[in-house]
Amino acid sequence: MVAGTAEGLRTFGVSRIESARLLDKGCARPSGFDLAAWWASSTEELARTRGRFAVTLRVEPRTAAAFQWWHRRPLPPPGRRRGFVTIDAHFDDEEEAAFVVLGLGAKVDVVRPASLRERVAREHAAALERAGD
């Protein structure tokens, strides 16, 4: 969504809108505004400045197929190793990567980066400790 703000036009992710209300006041598109050009420029800027968190995962083959469908980002062809499929993927940040990897449970191993592998190990250990309580 593109909207005018005090700082000028901005692009907003509709999926992040938590609530909306209809106002009596109308709005008008600025004269000369080209939505297609704005969108091209805005998405290019987002891709250029967005944090990219690269990971390498080893995933069970059936899970790899589901992951590739869900991830909806281009992934290179997977390589095979010891019955698992190796996937290089990008996430917005480590938080998103951890969320996804933890959701895959024992069907995934984090190859790199070490920070994500260690974070996932800590989360699994904490879950096992809670289960023992």
Query: What are the structural domains, with CATH classification, of the chain?
Result: 2-49 (no CATH), 53-132 (3.30.70)
Are the C-beta atoms of 97 and 53 separated by less than 8 Å? yes
Q: By 3-state DSSP, what share of the chain in percent is helix, strand and coil, each rounded to 5?
A: 45, 25, 30
pTM score, two decimals?
0.58
Are the C-beta atoms of 102 and 123 separated by less than 8 Å? yes
CB count in 10 Å sphere of residue 86: 17
CA 77-110-106 angle, 5° bins: 100
pLDDT digits (tens, 9 = 90+) for 72-122: 554 555 555 567 888 888 888 899 999 999 999 999 999 999 999 999 999
**Considering only 8-17, 88-97, 118-127, which range has the smallest mean pLDDT?**
8-17
| pLDDT attached to residue 20 | 87
